[in-house]
Amino acid sequence: MPMTASEIEKRIVAAIPDAQVEIRDLAGDGDHYAATVTSEQFRGKSRVQQHQMVNAAFGEDMGTTLHSLSVQTRAPD
C-alpha cells in the first residue's frame, strides 16, 4: 500500500521537528510525491546532507512503500 501525503509529512516532522513541510502529489496517483522542506537544521549543511536528513525519516520504506519522493530543502530566510 502506498504511503499517504499525511504520513510523509508526519515522518519528516518526526525526524526534523522544526520542519515546515509542503507535499504535492505529482501524478495524482498517490505514489509520486514532491516535498519542500524548510528547517533551521539545514543551515550550514550541503544539499546532500539536507536530503540525507529527509530521506532518513523513511528508512527502508524509501523506494518501496514510498515509491517516489522528489525533495527540495532549504533553511528559512
Taking the C-alpha atoms of residue 32 and residue 26, their distance in angstroms, rounded to an integer, is: 6
CATH code where residue 54 lies = 3.30.300.90
Taking the C-alpha atoms of residue 64 and residue 58, their distance in angstroms, rounded to an integer, is: 10
Classify residue 36 as exposed, middle or buried by CB count within 10 Å of its CB (0-12, 13-18, 19+).
Answer: middle
Residue with cell 516535498: 35
SS3 20: strand
Domain that holds residue 45: 5-74
Q: What pLDDT, in 10s, does the model give residues 3-60? A: 999 999 999 999 999 999 999 999 888 889 999 999 999 999 999 999 999 999 999 9
Give me the pLDDT at residue 67, please.
84
pTM: 0.92
Instruction: Report the number of distinct structural domains present in the chain.
Output: 1
